[in-house]
Homo-oligomer: A and B are copies of this chain.
Amino acid sequence: MPSTGEQMAPRIAVDAMGGDFGPQVVVPGAVDAAREGIAVTLVGDEERINAELAKLNTGGLDISVVHATQVVEMDDKPADALRRKRDSSIQVACRLVKDGGADGVVSAGNSGATVACGMFVLGRIKGVLRPALAGIMPTEKTPVVLIDVGANVDSKPQHLFQFGLMADVLARYVLGVDNPSVGILSIGEEEGKGNATVRESFDLLRESNLRFIGNVEGRDIFTGDVDVVVCDGFVGNVALKLSEGLAKSMSSLLRKELTASWLSKLGALLSLRAFKRFKKLVDYAEYGGAPLLGLKGVVIVAHGKSNELAVANCIRMAATSVRNRTHEHLAEGLAAHKDITGRNGRSDKDAA
């Protein structure tokens, strides 16, 4: 029997082989999440998983292990992972959800393969044109959802419109934002700025029941003044990786300067607590996961560099998503805007 997410604890299937560090980081992260009452199924090389579990105190926790003989490598092509590695940990984890053995999947493995397996194995919610990856990024205030961060390129206005609908549901029911504001990423604040796709999407979003605030610019993403930022997956992926790269470069420059003299070293030592808090704020591990929205099941794509905290956070996020019936709200939101999405004769069949 599938757990319904109502009375029973949500059960999350975790790709134990995924990520740059594999079972030795994923397993302890999953155990941390299990300590909070989440049921966890670890999928992958049984022997290696059990070896990691043996190092930890798992008494009384609802943890099961499902063996998978294959592993998707970071440089495997998504299509190859799908076809040639049917018994890979990520594909087995997705099938668990499909078959009712789990409510959601978390993987820190090859993200292209995770997206492909999620789409292929679980399938789309009725009405969804294209599933989208929602990046959750830290800001000066509350986190911002950037959608899409790489599941789609060359998106059409109807796709961008639905990304906004889906991220609104995510912000409400997973991040706990009351009446989230939604903007569309453009290159000027005024209406009419941007490229052809953005201008058309602007019109669709304005007609919806979302709290649409119009165009937002690159500089507005990190202020925390907007809850959801809609964009094509090409732009979103560039933005996500650029932010990551810039934060890393800034930190490394600062470290270099601070260790350049004994005086600055002493200063840095005295300010250590402040730096730690700062690092925490800019650290992706705090959020770490990008939900893939629009599928019949919860899929969270964790960062390849995820540490234990990030893995645990992703599992928590998946559980919250299940508990708060995000998928039902998503289907409702899509159904309520069917007239806007279906315009110009576009329908489900239009999806890639």
Chain A residues within CB distance 8 Å of chain B: 112, 139-140, 150, 153-154, 185-188, 194-196, 198, 217-223, 231, 233-235, 237-250, 252-254, 257-258, 260-261, 263-264, 266-275, 277-278, 281-282
Q: Which residue of the partner chain B has the closest CB to A280? A: B257
Distance in Å: Cβ of A254 to nearest Cβ of chain B = 5
Residues of B within 8 A of A250 (CB): 247, 250, 282
Chain A interface, >50% SS class: helix
Do A270 and B267 touch across chains, with their CB atoms under 8 A apart? yes
Residues of B within 8 A of A267 (CB): 266-272, 274
Do A253 and B237 touch across chains, with their CB atoms under 8 A apart? no
Do B246 and A222 touch across chains, with their CB atoms under 8 A apart? yes
Distance in Å: Cβ of A226 to nearest Cβ of chain B = 12
Q: Which residue of the partner chain B has the closest CB to A245? A: B219
Set B187, B273, B274, B278: member contacting A234, Cβ < 8 A: B187
Distance in Å: Cβ of A267 to nearest Cβ of chain B = 3
- CA–CA, A153 and B198, complex, Å: 11
Do B253 and A264 touch across chains, with their CB atoms under 8 A apart? no
Residues of B within 8 A of A281 (CB): 253, 257
Set B112, B194, B222, B245: member contacting A249, Cβ < 8 A: B222
- CA–CA, A243 and B248, complex, Å: 12
Residues of B within 8 A of A185 (CB): 238
Distance in Å: Cβ of A198 to nearest Cβ of chain B = 8
Distance in Å: Cβ of A201 to nearest Cβ of chain B = 13
- CA–CA, A246 and B187, complex, Å: 16
Do A246 and B243 touch across chains, with their CB atoms under 8 A apart? yes
Do B247 and A218 touch across chains, with their CB atoms under 8 A apart? no
Q: Can you list 14 A-B contacts with CB-CB less than 8 angstroms, sorted by A residue number?
A: A140-B252, A140-B253, A153-B187, A153-B195, A154-B195, A218-B241, A218-B245, A222-B242, A234-B235, A254-B274, A257-B281, A264-B273, A267-B267, A267-B268
